[in-house]
Amino acid sequence: MNRLAGAASPYLLQHRDNPVDWWEWGEEAFAEARASNRPILLSIGYAACHWCHVMAHESFEDPATAAVMNELFVNIKVDREERPDIDHVYMSALHSLGEQGGWPLTMFLTPRGAPFWGGTYFPPEPRHGRPAFTDVLRQLAAIYRREPQRIAQNAAALHGALKQMETIALAVAGEPDLTDLSNQIAGTFDPLHGGLRGAPKFPNTGLIELLWRRGSQKGATGQPLLAATRTLERMARGGIHDHLGGGFARYAVDERWLVPHFEKMLYDNAQLLSLYALEANRSGDVLAREAAEGIVVWLEREMLLPEGAFAASLDADSEGEEGKYYVWARAEIDALLGPADAELFARHYDVRPHGNWEEVSILNRLNTPDPDAATAERLGELKERLLAVRSKRIPPARDDKILADWNGLMIAALTRASGLLDQPRWLALARNAYRFVAESMADGDGLAHSYRQGRLIKPGFALDHAAMIDAALALHDAGFERHYLDDAIRWSDHLWQHYRDPATNLIGMTRLESEGLPVIPRPTHDDAVPNALGVHAANLIRLGRKTGETKDRERADILMAVALRTVPRAPMAHGSVLNAFDLTRNGVEVVLAGRNREAFNAAARRLPYTIATLVDCPDADGLPPGHPAAAMIRQAGEGAAFICFEGRCLPPVTDPNRLADAIDAER
């Protein structure tokens, strides 16, 4: 075994038996590079990454290739999910070279960590216009030895590009017109298949949420809502959706959602759970409800860890083959179900004699008939039989590290979906996961980023705190337990003190005092996960409404103002910021007052969380003196809800069943 034998990350442990003399990221590795005057080969990937596995099998497990790596370089392996800051900086450097990003990320650094060249996957032999990996290694090592000035020039140019990229040019702009923006974004969506046009297709959950928010507004035109619901419907019907086991794969490689890249990520399913719950609550759509319920079934069956929190991901591969665990041959279906049931199942899930993908079938409902009630019940029984058989196959590997940010996203989603769809058991799942992260991953007043087998990776990142603050606020809505609000306030103060750049008010990915990277990354755009800037802008809006504290309201205004200045450069990359702004302009406070508030709480949790912030007011002194509802609280009697907009409140709603109608009438 190499040095990775002692790592916490499952991804790093996958490489512990490589003949490569891997180092973990740290000062020891950089000291070795300086002492030996060798450049650094930095390889970044993650456990569920298919092409990371391919390069590992072809190159890192090959003794001859490893010998070249060991002789010429100090080799560092990084799990991008453990260290998203490292990944962000060096992926940005690759983009500065004009290269397409992706994983595995292969970067070449000076002994002090400055990047000077890079790429992604390199084959063992020249292929498809890409050079052989060992040829690249030898050429770069030779240039490093013979032309140090050239290396220095490259490194200086890339460092300058990184500094420029992380020095955000904040536009001077007015408030965005959300109606106009949502119509423009809806126009970029595929009218037939949903999602952004072309392939590959990613969920783009921040944009779907923005379209759903704007399209479900009273009096809105149909285009944004149609784009959002069409996308959700086609994803739920597509092969990207696991129709037997629940949950969604990371993306589809085609334009119609049929062929997934089979890895399943916790963060995707968290964001999709929220969206499907919103849509099922709004429309009563059976497909949306089934998609939401399936995500939670999958979560409990395959991702729930003994600690009560959730694992990070499932691999795309099993038995060395991508998707093998999930696909079916028609002959298997026939043998397992018998002729009549096999024909029924094949007709409804697109199982073909020669498959719909590489001679096998990916189950989907893209162009199959919708079953009647009796047929749906029978299909459900057949799916259970097939799932039982599938569960005996060799499963994809699970990355069982616990990430605070991804768990925060799922905890918030479970909590809100439990209210939207009346699923109290989901709330218990959320509370258990929250308890583990808040207690076992605490790091002073903040949080660690990753936990596995008793080992913490700390300090946490900005999104760890922002996502867990959101989770705490959602759980506070669910029962008004004060400790959730206290956690949110403490973590918010910590985030403001240690991650906010006081010169720009931007939120840095890492703590301001972080060392070891060429720059402190301060991205504002969403990636596969929402950006901490947008998430925490929404948090501060909710906090300010819940606490009434001047500090929270002022911080919300400051962060929202700077967040909006990042939008004009790339509106479609800033869905979380635009969603936070929508909450600012179109959200309502629902003040629940009186002794018997439970019935009103249940009704309020059925409201879309995209508009409602719940405020607990157990007695007449429960609101700040200046709150517009303060003077009316004594009218609450045994229980009432006050719907409040900026500076004004409606008369009390005394029937929980009238709460949604009262908001709709005003909006």
The SS3 of residue 259 is coil
Q: Are residues 384 and 302 in the same domain?
A: no
As a whole number of angstroms, the distance between CA 230 and CA 213 comes to 14
Average pLDDT over every residue of 406-424: 98
172 part of a folded domain: no
Sign of the alpha-carbon dihedral angle for 521, 522, 525, 527: positive
Buried b (16+ CB within 10 A) or exposed e, 295-307: bbebbeebbbbeb
Whether the pLDDT of residue 348 is over 90: the answer is: yes
* CA distances in angstroms from 152 to 157, 302, 394, 520, listed in the order given: 9, 48, 49, 21
Angstrom distance (rounded) from CA 557 to CA 387: 50
Instruction: Specify the number of domains making up the chain.
Output: 4
pLDDT computed for residue 76 by the predictor = 98
**Which range, of 16-20, 227-231, 340-344, 599-603, averages the lowest pLDDT?**
599-603
The answer on 602 and 484 residing in a single domain is no
Q: Is residue 502 part of a domain?
A: yes
Within a domain: residue 301? yes
- Give me the torsion for CA of 79, 84, 85, 88, rounded to 10°: 100
- Tell whether 495 and 613 lie within a shared domain: no
| Ordered DSSP codes for 563-584 | HHHHTTT-GGG-HHHHHHHHHH
**Among all chains, which residue has been given the structure tokens 């005003």?**
666
What's 470's domain CATH number? 1.50.10.10
Q: Are residues 231 and 144 in the same domain?
A: no
User: What is the per-residue pLDDT for 169?
Assistant: 60
444 in any annotated domain: yes
Residues 13 and 115 in one domain: yes
Res. 34: pLDDT tops 70: yes
Whose structure tokens read 């279906």?
333
Answer yes or no: do 21 and 85 share one domain.
yes
Residue 247 domain flag: yes
Nearest to 252 by CA among 267, 237, 266: 237
168 — pLDDT class (breaks 50, 70, 90): low
Identify whether 255 is part of a domain: yes
Residue 32 CA to residue 39 CA, distance in Å, equals 10
Q: Which of 605, 528, 523 is nearest to 570 (CA)?
A: 523
- The 10s digit of each residue's pLDDT in 76-110 is 999 999 999 999 999 999 998 888 889 999 999 99
Q: Residues 120, 156: one domain?
A: yes
Answer yes or no: is 579 within a domain.
yes
Half-sphere exposure (Cβ direction) of 346: Cα atoms closer than 13 Å:
24
On whether both 378 and 512 belong to a single domain, the answer is: no
- 108 φ/ψ angles, rounded to the nearest 5 degrees: -115, 125
- Among the candidates 559, 585, 611, a domain finishes at 585
Residues 417 and 546 in one domain: yes
Looking at 533, 554, 585, which one is the last position of a domain? 585
| pLDDT over threshold 70, residue 166 | no
Average pLDDT over residues 1-18: 94
Instruction: Name the pTM for this structure.
Output: 0.94
- What ranges make up the beta strands (E) of 576-647? 588-593, 612-617, 640-645
Same domain for 383 and 531? no
Residue at a domain's end among 368, 392, 416: 392
pLDDT at position 30, please?
A: 96
pLDDT over 90 (residue 597): no
Question: Is 171 a domain residue?
Answer: no
What residues make up the domain containing 55? 3-166
Separation CA 553–CA 541 (nearest Å): 7
- State the pLDDT at residue 127: 85
User: What percent of the chain stands above pLDDT 70?
Assistant: 98
The pLDDT score that the predictor gives to residue 170 is 66
Q: Are residues 13 and 131 in the same domain?
A: yes
Q: What is the CATH classification number for the domain harbouring 36? A: 3.40.30.10
pLDDT band of 633, cuts 50, 70, 90: confident
CA angle 501, 502, 503 (to 5 degrees): 90
pLDDT, tens digit (0-9, with 9 covering 90-100), for 508-548: 999 988 888 888 888 899 999 999 999 999 999 999 999 98
Half-sphere exposure for 186 (CA within 13 Å, toward CB): 24
Residues 422, 284 share a domain: yes
CA-based nearest residue to 594, from 618, 574, 611: 618
Q: Furthest-apart CA pair in the chain: how many Å?
A: 84
Q: State residue 646's pLDDT score.
A: 77
